[in-house]
Homo-oligomer: A and B are copies of this chain.
Amino acid sequence: MPPTVKNEGYRTADEMADRQRVISVSEFFLKNRHLLGFDSGAKALVTTVKEAVDNALDACEEAGILPDIRVEVFDEEDGEFRVAVEDNGPGIVENQITRIFGKLLYGSKFHKLSQSRGQQGMGISAAGMYAQLTTGKPLHIISRVRGDKLATEMFVSIDTAKNRPELHKKAHLKWNRTHGTRVEANLEGHYQKGPHSIDMYLKQTAIANPHVRIDFTDPRGGHVRYDRSSRALPPRPQEIKPHPRGVELGRLIQMLGSTNSRTLLQFLEHEFSRVGRKTAQEIVRVAALRLSERSHPRHIAHAQASALYRAIRKVPVSAPRTDCLAPIGEALMEDGLRKEIDADFFAAVTRPPAVYRGNPFQVEVAIAYGTPGGVGLEVDAGGHIHKTGARKRAAGAEIALSADEPAYLLRFANRVPLLYEQGGCAVTKAAIQTHWRTYGLQQPKRGLPVAPLAIVVHLASVWVPFASEAKEAIAPYPEIVKELKLGLQACGRKLSEYLHRTQRLKREYDKRSHIEQYLPHVGIALQEILGLSDAERDATVVRLDDVLNKKRKV
């Protein structure tokens, strides 16, 4: 006999209370792993490489080291791959290794305001968690800090129920690097080429990071080197304090409660960026409401904090500092593109810094345009017009421009390529909203321009608002979309000038070709009329050619 079903499965408040549980952040993301970029085997491989390389680059730059990165992917059969990423960075202090690789939400970049690739303290541990889920194998880490005799080797996984690292094995060993870190992950995956590939991620990383050298060995044994084109490290971004205009009332109340400052004036001066003595005094004066400069921050009531909040909005405060940002720069943007994309025309624009929610950010845009047909025209110093030679094939994944396809969009956030979720990205939104017809290109409604064009967009910010934890698209905050459009328009105007000039050049080239065909006949006619010697005739033809080319300025 079946047991009596109590209330058809209905529950009382007490029974519901018994079922309440704490959910660990690891369990949450394990179940929602598509949020972290692990929704397919192909994407899992790319995301794992990306998280490891991003960490390596951040560490090298923070330590002032020109990054040399080695990426290897091995096919272990039955759908299992081993991904290894090795750097020449500063290494990781031994007691930090387990937490950095075996705990979600642990890191050095979340609590500060300055530009870095990582910001969440999740990426590499998430890759480890996915590896563990699909193959049951822990991460294998080797790291050596400069000055240490031996390297530390560890095998680390995550106890997902508690979001805590588990150390399986630890050893000290000799390593041929004096400093650096190597991490290996065994995971289920699928290796592929194309626009969503490790190859493409590395190629685009090389474009946005001309100071980086990357060696990649793919699971089919192929090897590519992306060499550095610059030996200058990007300027080290400075950390800043929050700008008062970006702080919400609730956060202000929290800051008042936890500050070490003993007077309101000190609090305003010490905890915020761009608030000096005078501005602080003015804020307190405008807030009024029984507040004084000497009020103790911890004794400020809700209504007073509200008044302070409104005062901060009224009193003029200088725009945030921008040395927290490290844009790539117009010259390097353009160089990076020239190195990796075959095209005829290049242009780059770095916009002045702007602010969203108190966070400084900066937009950079570069474009590469390839004349349909594959060769363009150029003018030499003597005013002669030549066809340019067939373009060389660049290393690694190919970014091919086509006159019949939508422009190739390359998106970067803090120098990291974004390969997925193009449709949901602020960059795509801005590129679609830009009127490319104005600049001489075709553009379908609600689409990217159709042209042999690559558009590179870089957003540098102390806090990039990503549309998901997988950091594949930038959330379309209005202030950001506006700046992106201004950058795109500036490049569009340069492209428009080039296209006009190319058209003129084309017409001129055709005319000159025509004249050049007849010049020898003109020479012979002149020889007959003026009785010139053969040498005189030839010299006249050369001079005529020269004069014609010089006079017809292009």
Contact = CB atoms under 8 A, between A and B. Distances in A.
Interface stretch (A32-40, A395-403, A512-520): A32-40
A96 B16 CA distance: 10
Given A7-B64, A16-B93, A25-B25, 11 more contacts: A9-B236, A9-B238, A16-B62, A16-B92, A21-B111, A23-B110, A27-B110, A39-B475, A135-B249, A136-B306, A137-B302
Interface in A12-46: 12-14, 16-17, 19-25, 27-28, 31-32, 34-35, 39
B465 A34 contact: yes
Given A35-B468, A39-B475, A13 B146 contact: yes
Interface string A102-120: 0101111011100000001
Contact of A120 (B16, B23, B62, B120): B23
Interface string A224-253: 000000000000101000000000111111
Contact of A134 (B14, B121, B249): B249
Interface in A203-240: 236, 238
Copies in the complex: 2
A492 interface: no
Given A20-B108, A25-B25, A108-B19, A250 B136 contact: yes
Given A17-B95, A253-B136, A90 B12 contact: yes
Contacts of A424: 421, 423-424
A424 B476 CA distance: 14
B90 A21 contact: no
Contact of A305 (B64, B136, B252): B136
A41 to B, nearest CB: 12
Given A12-B63, A17-B93, A250 B135 contact: yes
B20 A100 contact: yes
Given A20-B96, A105-B25, A136-B250, A11 B63 contact: yes
Nearest to A251: B133
Interface of A: 7-14, 16-17, 19-25, 27-28, 31-32, 34-35, 39, 59, 62-64, 90-93, 95-96, 99-100, 103, 105-108, 110-112, 120-121, 131-137, 145-146, 160, 179, 188, 236, 238, 248-254, 302, 305-306, 421, 423-424, 463, 465-469, 475, 477
Given A14-B93, A302-B136, A107 B25 contact: no
Contacts of A111: 21, 23
B63 A24 contact: no
Contacts of A477: 39
B90 A136 contact: no
Nearest to A59: B16
A64 B8 contact: yes
B10 A92 contact: no
